[in-house]
Structure formats: structure tokens, C-alpha cells
Amino acid sequence: MQTVTLNNGVEMPILGFGVFQIAPEQTEQAVTEALAAGYRMIDTAAAYGNEEAVGRAIAASGIPRDELFVTTKLWVQDTGEENTARAFETSLGKLGLDHLDLYLIHQPYGDVHGCWRAMENLNREGRVRAIGVSNFYADRLVDLIDRNEITPAVNQIETHPFFQRADDQELMRERGVQIESWGGFAEGRNNLFTHPVLSAIADQHGRSVAQVVLRWLVQREVVAIPKSVRVERMKENLDVFDFELTDDQMAAVATLDTGSSLFFDHRDPDQVSRIGNLRIHG
């Protein structure tokens, strides 16, 4: 597995397995099958409601802990220094682990600076190997970096052929932050899996459109966490390291960028209010 080196020296797989929108009752089997297929990075979140199922699959796998890279995320309901420390312990307990590899602030709302102070402490104590953020646009990311000691290792943001985030990636590179994609397949929107540009490239390589998209992300050094509940798709998504897109093919994919989210804008007032007030526990 190809890896990226984070700003603190930690090695992170460039491809992992995401469990967003996998029901808790399906998650244990899906993660078990993903681990058997060869995935060693698992991405979950408190808000997904399936941390316990992820933990059961990890425990049953028998894979040594140091071969796994486990990420979870702090929900906005639990922002603030004390709340973050408690939420971390809750997630760690549900996962059945003694440390995390990556802990992310899930949304750029609430007392993110209080969160970050708590996460810096967890990082210093060795409870989490790397800390980062998710869904932070450039202004919020720079504000967090400039006002704290530890620079986020990762920013997990919507990144796919229709919203490519090249400028965001360049700023992150300058600041030492690794870009990670969520929604790499755009959840199939804009007919991604049958798009003529992507389909033509796939045909040229004898690959699927999904493999082309993942290869495009890998060649851009973007970490990706594709999700599937089908074993054959899990294996297919990992099989992207033995071919390479040409410069012309990379340029063709670049023409698909709309520059806008296909889901929601984290700077839209209505979305800020909706997400910022969404509670995941009592």
C-alpha cells in the first residue's frame, strides 16, 4: 500500500475504507470483509453511529494493532476543551482501542479552538498519533493553524472530479496539511460512473470508472476512503497501483471541475445552523 507522510512523520495509507452511511448492523461485516480484502485504514466518526461495530470487526480480525490506521471524528455537539476530552474517551471505548491513529474535528463549527487544545493534549500524551480537521475551508484552516501550536495533519474535505479542490490542496501543501477526500465518487452524482470522459479513460486502461477516479486521486497525492458493502468492489477499489493515468488523461479529468460542492456549502448560513445544531446523543 502506498502511503503519505504526515507533518509529524506518521505514515498514513493513501487508500482506506470509509463507513459513512453504512448502517450499524451492516458495518461489522463490511469492515471484516474490507480487512480481509487488504484494507488497513478504517475511517469512521461518532456521528456515523457505527464505531462499536468497527471496533468489533477490528478485534475479531486478529490483525496486529500497529498494522492498522484508525480514524474517528468529533461531532460539533461535543466541541470545547472538556467536552472533546470526554467525547474522545467515549469513541475510544466504543472502538475498543487504547489509542487512535487520527482524530478529526468533524465540522468547522462551535468552539473549535477549545477542541484543538484538548486534541493537542491527547496527541502529546500519545493517545492519538495525529490530529486534524474535516470540512475546513481555507480561512478557517489558516485561522486554526495561526492560533495554535500543532498544525493539523489532515483536512478531510469533499474532493472528486466535479469539485477538485486544487487551490485548497496547494494551500494545504504550503501549510503542511495532508488533503483527504470524502465523497470521492461524488455518490454517483452527475452520472459519474457513466460519464463519457471518465468512461473513455477507463476503456483505455481496461479498468472501471471507479478505479480511474481513485487512480486520479492517488496521482494527485489525495488520500481517499471509498465505501462499499460489496466484496468485489472493495477489492476492485484497492487494485489501482499497477496502472497510471497519462498527463493528457489527468488534464481531461481536470476539465470536469465545476468549482462547487455537489452536496452543501459549509459557509452557507442555513447549513451552518442545520449542521451546527444537529445532536447525535442526549
Q: How many domains does the chain have?
A: 1
pTM here?
A: 0.96
Burial class (CB in 10 A: 0-12, 13-18, 19+), 101: buried
Residue 72 domain flag = yes
Residue 276 domain flag = no
Take residue 104 and report the three cell numbers written for it: 478529526
Residue 105 domain flag = yes
For 175, half-sphere exposure in the C-beta direction (CA atoms, 13 angstrom radius) is 25
The CATH number of whichever domain residue 119 belongs to comes to 3.20.20.100
Per-residue pLDDT reduced to its tens digit, 169-196: 999 999 999 999 999 999 999 999 999 9
| Helical pair 24-37 and 231-238, crossing angle rounded to 10 deg | 50
Residue 256 domain flag = no
Per-residue pLDDT reduced to its tens digit, 6-23: 999 999 999 999 999 999
Q: How far is CA 43 from the centre of its chain?
A: 6
C-alpha distance from residue 131 to each of 17, 238, 269 (Å) = 19, 25, 27
106 in a known ligand binding site: yes
Residue 271 to residue 85: CA distance in whole angstroms: 26
Residue 239 domain flag = no
Residue 55 domain flag = yes
- Residues labelled catalytic: 48
Q: Domain of 80?
A: 12-187+221-227
Residue 45 domain flag = yes
Residue 209 domain flag = no
